Amino acid sequence: MEHKPPVWADRFFAWFCAPHLLHDLQGDLHERFYERLRDNGARSARFHFVLDVFSFFRPYILRRRKYGVSQVPSRMLFGHYLKSAVRSMKRDKQFLVVNTFGLALGIGCSLLLIAYVYTELSYDRYVDDSSLVYRVSCSTVIDTKETQFAPIPPAVGLALKEALPEIKDMARFMTWSYTTGNSSVSYQDKSFYQQNIFIADSTIFKVITFRFLAGNAAALHQPDRVVLSHTLATKIFGPDYLRRSDLLQTMIRIDKQEFAVGGVVDDIPYSSHWRPEAMVGWQGRGNDNVWDDSHAYTYIRVNAGTDPHTLQKRIGDFIDANENIKKVAEAFGAKVSVFIQPLTDIHLHSDKMYELSPGGSAGYIYAFSVLALFFLFSSGINYTNLAIAASAHRFKEIGVRKVIGALRHQIQKQFMIEAVLITFIAAAIGAGIFYLLIPRFNQLMEYKLDMSIFRQGEFLMTATGVVVTLSLLSGFYPAFYLSWINPIQILKSKFSGGPGKAHFRKTLLMTQFAISAIMIVAVLVVSAQMRYLSQKDLGFNKENVMIITIPDAYMKDLLVLKEKLLAVTGVSGAAVCDYVPGYSDMVDEHYVERANGEMKSSTVSRLHFDKDYLRVLGLEVIQGRNFDPTNEADYKAAYLVNEAAVKAYGWDKTPQGALGRKIEGFNYGKKGQVIGVVKDVNLFSLKQKVAPLVMGLTPYGSFLYVKTDGEHPKEMVSRIEKTYKAVMGNEPLTYQFLDERLMRLYESDQKMNAALVSGSQVLIFISCLGLFGLSAFMVTQRTKEIGVRKVLGASLREIMVLLTRDYVRLIVIANVVAIPLGYLLMQQWLKSYAYRVDLSWWMALVPVCLTVLLALLSISFQVARASRANPVRTLRYE
Amino acid sequence: MKGTNLGEFEELVLLTVGILQEEAYSIAIAKEIKRVTKRDVIFAVVHSALNRLEEKGYVDSKLGGATQERGGRSKRIFTISAAGKKALLRSKTQRDALWNLMPKVVFKNI
């Protein structure tokens, strides 16, 4: 016969047709084909054959892949799989414990990191319709140098609200205390210092979401009312304050001003960039006509559907056309712009002057996400390797299953079910580990996580997704590997462990140790840099300097206190300054005379201190003279500058030099001349190079620097406290130490370091756990080989080398790949510092030695057992 | 099991299975229906109806003779089962009952 049905259509039919229907149906199709061939010719027959094939593409014909012919429905098998999973777990407890624990540790740690990342990303999303809320901030550009400010002049917000109808509500607030942020709150005879007190527009409740526990949003309309947070109210009135019937008339004092409680709001969630503890009304305190001083944090809520780009453009046009802004810009010689930023972007993507809280860092979000992935990856690899290792005992089981008629996909399903089961047990334990780790994490990271995060739907979904994905991925390879086993070989005992080379498993192991090596490199570099920061000579004296915060209300007693403290034993000096490192950047507009004599404005850091400051910190005047407190003119018209300023303004290139140059402080209205140059020191963060700095003389400042001899610090503090209380009428003493304060500048990196150290320990532990299990497998596989070698005269040492050589080689290769990668990564991080530690070559050796050593340690137990075993026994193995 | 009522096309197929007796396999059934009713039957639809009838228990099937044209594959021969016969009778009785109630006048002008 010449003509045959089209082969492709025939094959296609055979592929999609259910096996029990295929035989006779295919016969029918062929019969029809040949009949047509006879009657109508080849073309028609072929055409109709294809048509027939496609007309059979119907649900009842289609092959059901899951259910073959005469198979027990998998619903019934499911129970059986569970049972055999439980039995095999019971039989092999070591595997169960090692594997579940490894997985649980990985899941627990990564959940913790995911919770952190989730919290960071959910900042300020508690606000109703947070996508409609924007913060208005501003920037000045002077000589191409741009400075961005989080707050804006209070008049700007008001003008914008009037001019632009798409702004539904506008609210401004500013800090109550300008200097230290500390204000005294008192009620009856109770008194304490409180941070985060704000003066706010009454519209604030329309822009930012607050939940009132007592009183209502009208409270801020009256100037003599205060709205308290739940925490502060509890602190003042005790836990049962809501039951007090007279709560809303109760008077409290803030910095000696009387207020009636106008309302209590529920605490703002931890993930908020602004966390007010008390708010008082703007009316009568804020100044609505100020155009030139940025101190009002301004937030707007826009109408739904407003396009931010259009709004930004409209605001830009309005600002450009505004007469008042023009005047200010002219006075500063600056280009002023005002822009909006989404509320939810502030925490992670905004780093302006005078931010309300130190923002999170997108970089750390990435770093922590990667770390979480590392954890999952490492524990997943563990599971895969261990599951295969442990299945050595189960080859016979699989063989018998296959002989009885189990299909490949059924074996796969069985092992996937086991993987899912173990992962979910591990996830439950992991949640427990999460719970146990929270306090430690919060302490390390100075964060506030708690179990309530599990009530957040999105987080719960992410967590479940992670666990399911992990179980599928880690169960995937063992399931496929085991389902390929040839039953004949197994049952004839010829088979002892699948494809002998096990490239895949070795790659997994290498990946695991490469991750560990990268972590070790990261830890080394970060801690080396931290050590460098704490040991670097900053050019001034930072040891044994205690900084006392002076409350605004007691400023007048400052000089008396200073006198009295100098008389205390062990105190060798005291100085007043308006700055502590990290408190806030003292940046201000100044008119500065340039090299050519022209006066131009410049945004520079400034300090105000008294005559003793330079001596107490050991700063050197290298040109000109220090301030002279007896000279009245020095208070009003004298400036010191640092070397960086001399260079920045080009004074060093002129014969006239720095001395006598004119400087005007814009905001504090001081016109003066440079009387001296101070040697460059790193008063600010080492992330930046030493920047230009102007310094003025003042008798008063919010911080008193006390230099002590450093002996018996505890007694020293109590002596100082006694003197302080005697002078300040029993006010509590708030103090800190300069060197600690300086290290606080690198707080986020220190937290990172702490997290890295703990994280890498756990990661390495998980890897070693996996190696421990794997070595047990390897040793059982090679029992006979070892026996034969021993009989033939191999020494104990030779056998141990034989057994460990492979692993050591793998780990060294992993290190060779990982270390350069780790260093490249960390070099990027180091770039965020202007001053950084030199990395030395021995740092590359540490991860190699450490991982090899730990790996040897974890396999040594199994290796020792195997190489000591009596060959007579092992050769009798069968 | 799906519903046990008999669809119109199913009834045709079932009747044809009864008519063809030992020769009742899918192709022959399709041809016979086409010959008698002059309807253009699609082979796959016939097969699907047979499949449904078998699921409902109205026909039984066994594998029969193979031919060269079929590539050595056997035919599936269908026979009408007791339940199938009952279903056909029930259907016929129902219709007859309805015909008996039909007033003669309705068909007067045909």
Q: Inform me whether the pLDDT recorded for A68 exceeds 80.
A: no
pLDDT digits 0-9 by tens, A299-355: 999 999 899 999 999 999 999 999 988 888 888 788 889 999 999 999 988 888 888
In this complex, do A28 and B48 lie within 8 Å of one another by their Cβ atoms?
Answer: no
At A134, which amino acid appears? Y
CA-CA distance, A608 to A399, in Å (whole number)? 84
In this complex, do B75 and A27 lie within 8 Å of one another by their Cβ atoms?
Answer: yes
Whole-number pLDDT of residue A585? 61
Best residue in A1, A3, A20, A24 for a mutation probing chain B (most B CBs within 10 Å): A24
* Chain A residues with beta carbon closer than 8 angstroms to that of B69: 30-31, 34-35
* Chain A residues with beta carbon closer than 8 angstroms to that of B45: 55
Whole-number pLDDT of residue B69? 78
Nearest CB to B69; choose among A24, A31, A58: A31
A624 with A639: CB under 8 angstroms? no
Q: Inform me whether the pLDDT recorded for A798 exceeds 70.
A: yes
The percent helix, strand, coil of chain A (3-state, each to 5) is 55, 15, 30
The number of C-beta contacts closer than 8 angstroms across A and B is 53
Strand partners, A260: A225, A251
In this complex, do A34 and B42 lie within 8 Å of one another by their Cβ atoms?
Answer: no
Q: Inform me whether the pLDDT recorded for A373 exceeds 50.
A: yes
Mean pLDDT of A375-396: 84
pLDDT digits 0-9 by tens, A663-713: 888 777 788 889 999 988 888 888 888 888 899 888 888 889 999 887 888
Residues in CB range of A878: below 8 A, 6 or more apart: A493
* Chain B residues with beta carbon closer than 8 angstroms to that of A60: 48, 51
Nearest CB to A24; choose among B42, B69, B75: B75
Whole-number pLDDT of residue A618? 87
Nearest CB to A32; choose among B27, B71, B74: B27
Whole-number pLDDT of residue A351? 81
* Tokens of residue A752, six digits: 């990172």
Mean pLDDT of A555-564: 87
Residues in CB range of A70: below 8 A, 6 or more apart: none
Residues in CB range of B64: below 8 A, 6 or more apart: B25, B74, B75, B76, B77
Whole-number pLDDT of residue A494? 57
In this complex, do B75 and A26 lie within 8 Å of one another by their Cβ atoms?
Answer: no
CA-CA distance, A802 to A788, in Å (whole number)? 14
Mean pLDDT of A53-60: 84
Range scoring the smallest mean pLDDT among A65-79, A758-772, A807-821, B16-30: A65-79
Mean pLDDT of A111-135: 92
More confident residue, A65 or A870: A870
CA-CA distance, A250 to A237, in Å (whole number)? 10
How many C-beta neighbours within 10 Å does residue A450 have? 12
Whole-number pLDDT of residue A352? 83
Residue of B nearest to A38 (CA): B69
Our CA dihedral for A472, A779, A782, A856, rounded to 10 degrees, sits at: 100
pLDDT digits 0-9 by tens, A600-616: 888 888 888 888 888 88
CA-CA distance, A835 to A534, in Å (whole number)? 12
In this complex, do B67 and A31 lie within 8 Å of one another by their Cβ atoms?
Answer: yes
| CA distance, residue A128 to nearest chain B CA (Å) | 53
Range scoring the smallest mean pLDDT among A68-82, A465-479, A719-733: A68-82
Q: Inform me whether the pLDDT recorded for A64 exceeds 80.
A: no
The ipTM (two decimal places) reads 0.87
In this complex, do B70 and A31 lie within 8 Å of one another by their Cβ atoms?
Answer: yes
Nearest CB to A52; choose among B25, B44, B75: B44
Q: Inform me whether the pLDDT recorded for A495 exceeds 70.
A: no
List, in sequence order, the alpha helices (H) in A670-746.
Answer: 713-727, 738-744
List, in sequence order, the alpha helices (H) in A728-795.
Answer: 738-744, 747-781, 783-791
Q: Characterize the bridge pairing of strands A693-697 and A599-609.
A: parallel
In this complex, do B43 and A52 lie within 8 Å of one another by their Cβ atoms?
Answer: yes
Which of A407, A421, A419, A390 has its CA nearest to residue A497?
Answer: A390
Best residue in B27, B41, B42, B43 for a mutation probing chain A (most A CBs within 10 Å): B43
Question: Would you list which residues of chain A are within 8 Å, Cβ to Cβ, of chain B?
Answer: 21, 23-28, 30-32, 34-35, 52, 55-56, 58, 60-61
A106 with A379: CB under 8 angstroms? yes
Strand partners, A590: A602, A665
**DSSP-derived 3-state class of residue A514:** helix
Whole-number pLDDT of residue A66? 47
Whole-number pLDDT of residue A77? 77
More confident residue, A19 or A876: A19
Q: Inform me whether the pLDDT recorded for A820 exceeds 80.
A: yes
Nearest CB to B69; choose among A26, A30, A60: A30
pLDDT digits 0-9 by tens, A253-269: 988 889 999 999 999 88
More confident residue, A436 or A283: A436
A393 with A310: CB under 8 angstroms? no
Banded pLDDT at A133 (limits 50, 70, 90): very high
